[in-house]
Amino acid sequence: MKTKKITISTFEGKYPILIGKNISSNTGNLLKKNKIFSSKVLLVVDKKVPLEMIKKIKKSIKEKKNLIYLKSNEKNKSQSNVDKILSVLLKENFNRNDCLISIGGGIIGDLSAFSASIFKRGLIYVNIPTTLLAQVDSSIGGKTGINSKFGKNLIGTFYQPKLVISDISFLKSLPKREIICGYAEIFKHSLISNRSFFNFLNKNIKEILKFKSPYIEKSIYKSCIIKKKIVEKDFKEKNLRKILNFGHTFGHAYEASLGYSSKLNHGEAVILGISSAATFSQDNKILNNNDAKLIFKHIDRISSKFSLRNFFKKTNIKKIVKFMATDKKNFDDKINLILIKKIGNVNFKYKFSLKKIEKFFLNYFRTI
Ligand SMILES: NC(=O)c1ccc[n+]([C@@H]2O[C@H](COP(=O)([O-])OP(=O)(O)OC[C@H]3O[C@@H](n4cnc5c(N)ncnc54)[C@H](O)[C@@H]3O)[C@@H](O)[C@H]2O)c1
């Protein structure tokens, strides 16, 4: 497969996303080709990324290298790990033209990008995403962040990488649940803006989930293009970019209600959230029955476990609605929802009272 290139244009300049097979083993050359001539490089690496891939990247970079290995979990997306990264950069006397490269999923990416953004007011940052979710979602758009005891991603910056190297060879070692997490975002991208991409996914879902060529490459590429178009129009999430949160208001509340337990991870919560947002849209005559059916059928093909009843009971409703009400996107006592009008078209301007949402859940649990 020929390496594909997508250029993201921001108000701070442009940067390329390269998508291909085994391209990370050429990282050293790719840095130079993209005018990154650092004399020192810090690699922040997810411990679960296969060692042979890391070895190839290290070998390709001739400059002085430092390495930090981290375990990837939400607890580690923390100020103390930012301090750890900054300490190495300071101790080794990095300057702004030197470079920090993250090799990992969204957690290592968000943490590293945040650290790079605040080091001497901005160190060169390169992202090598190693999960499907990071390749189709978190590596695009410049959101960085860490967690605190007050919540997830509440501390962060907008900061763009100079280069993203999306090597699909990393995906071979990903566990099935992580594949589904990434697929949730691909599926979401199709629903929010591209019906023909949804049709492609619907036709080829089996091959995509098995990472068969050329289906997986096309899914990643198309998905990145959709996110690119949205973030380029609205970098700071003032308007249009909100549609990327489709399914997430419900999804975040589901994750939070279960105390972020491993029973339901983020991507799975997003799929449940998409299903709820589609049901809510259908109940309120915003979405037609045919498209609703297509969406529910597709979710069932991802996995048969995506039904609210497998995770919640009627007694959980109040808790879920309470978490929905504390969502960052609400500015009054109503809940903002992003709802779907038809496949390929969503709108973020809907507002509903807490009572109405509660009734929706009550109805749901009454009908099962
Ligand atoms: N910045 C953004 O715009 C944005 C967008 C979406 C999500 N996020 C953030 O991304 C994070 C989730 O990212 P994620 O889903 O990539 O999770 P993650 O980084 O935790 O990775 C998931 C799991 O896969 C493992 N892993 C990573 N690469 C691997 C590989 N090649 N082989 C085997 N295992 C591998 C990790 O160790 C981890 O256990 C969340 O913190 C979320 O807030 C950020």
Spell out the SS3 assignment of the chain: CCCEEEEEEECCEEEEEEEECCHHHHHHHHHHHCCCCCCEEEEEEECCCCHHHHHHHHHHCCCEEEEEEECCCHHHCCHHHHHHHHHHHHHCCCCCCCEEEEEECHHHHHHHHHHHHHHHHCCEEEEEECCHHHHHHHCCCCECCEEECCEEEEECCECCCCEEEEEHHHHHHCCHHHHHHHHHHHHHHHHHHCHHHHHHHHHHHHHHHCCCCCHHHHHHHHHHHHHHHHHHHCCCCCCHHHHHHCCHHHHHHHHHHCCCCCCCCHHHHHHHHHHHHHHHHHHCCCCCHHHHHHHHHHHHHHCCCCCHHHCCCHHHHHHHHHHHHCCCCCCCCCEEEEEEEECCEEEEEEEECHHHHHHHHHHHHHCC
User: What is the residue with the minimal CA distance to atom 42 of ligand 1?
Assistant: 106
Q: Point out the ligand 1 atom lying closest to the alpha carbon of residue 132.
A: 16
Q: Which CATH superfamily is domain 178-366 in?
A: Dehydroquinate synthase-like - alpha domain (1.20.1090.10)
> Rounded to the nearest whole angstrom, what is the distance from the C-alpha of residue 182 to the centroid of ligand 1?
9
Question: How many other CB atoms are there within 10 angstroms of residue 42's CB atom?
Answer: 25
Q: Pick the atom of ligand 1 nearest to 265's CA.
A: 15
Ligand 1 center to 131 CA (angstroms): 6
Positions marked catalytic:
121, 143, 185, 227, 237, 241, 245, 248, 252, 266
Interval 285-291 mean pLDDT: 97
How far is the centre of ligand 1, averaged over its atoms, from the C-alpha of 322 (Å)? Answer: 27
Task: Determine which residue's CA is closest to atom 33 belonging to ligand 1.
Answer: 174
In angstroms, what is the span from residue 48 Cα to ligand 1's centroid?
11
Confidence of residue 328 (pLDDT cuts 50, 70, 90): low
Which residue, judged by its Cα, is nearest atom 6 of ligand 1? 138
Domain 4-172 has CATH 3.40.640.10: no
113 class by beta-carbon count within 10 Å (0-12 exposed, 13-18 middle, 19+ buried): buried
Q: Do the domains 4-172 and 178-366 sit in the same CATH topology, yes or no? A: no
Q: Which residue's alpha carbon is nearest to atom 18 within ligand 1?
A: 105
> Residue 330: is its pLDDT beyond 70?
no
Whether residue 97 has pLDDT greater than 60: yes
Mean pLDDT taken over the chain: 94
What pLDDT score does 261 carry? 87
Q: Does pLDDT of 133 surpass 80?
A: yes
Nearest CA to ligand 1 atom 9: 106
- Determine the residue of 48, 165, 176, 262 to mutate for testing ligand 1's pocket, defined as the one with the most ligand atoms within 8 A of the Cβ atom: 48
73 Cα to the center of ligand 1, angstroms: 8
pLDDT tens digits for 246-283?
999 999 999 999 988 889 988 999 999 999 999 999 99
Domain ranges (residues) in the chain = 4-172, 178-366
Nearest CA to ligand 1 atom 12: 106
pLDDT higher than threshold 90 for residue 331? no
Asked if the bond preceding 214 is cis, omega within 30° of 0, the reply is yes
| Ligand 1 centroid distance, CA of 83 (Å) | 20
- 123 alpha-carbon distance from chain centroid: 23
**150-159, 188-197, 201-210, 325-334, range with the lowest pLDDT:** 325-334
Q: Which residue's CA is the closest to the ligand 1 atom numbered 2?
A: 138
Which ligand 1 atom minimizes the distance to the CA of 108?
Answer: 19
- State what percent of residues in the chain have pLDDT above 90: 85
What value does the mean pLDDT take over residues 103-115?
Answer: 98
Both structure tokens of 3: 């390496």
Mutate to test the pocket of ligand 1, among 125, 159, 178, 188 (most ligand atoms within 8 A of CB): 178
- For ligand 1, residues with CB inside 6 Å are 46, 48-49, 72, 74, 77, 104-108, 110, 130-131, 133-134, 137-138, 141, 143, 153, 170, 173-174, 178, 181, 266
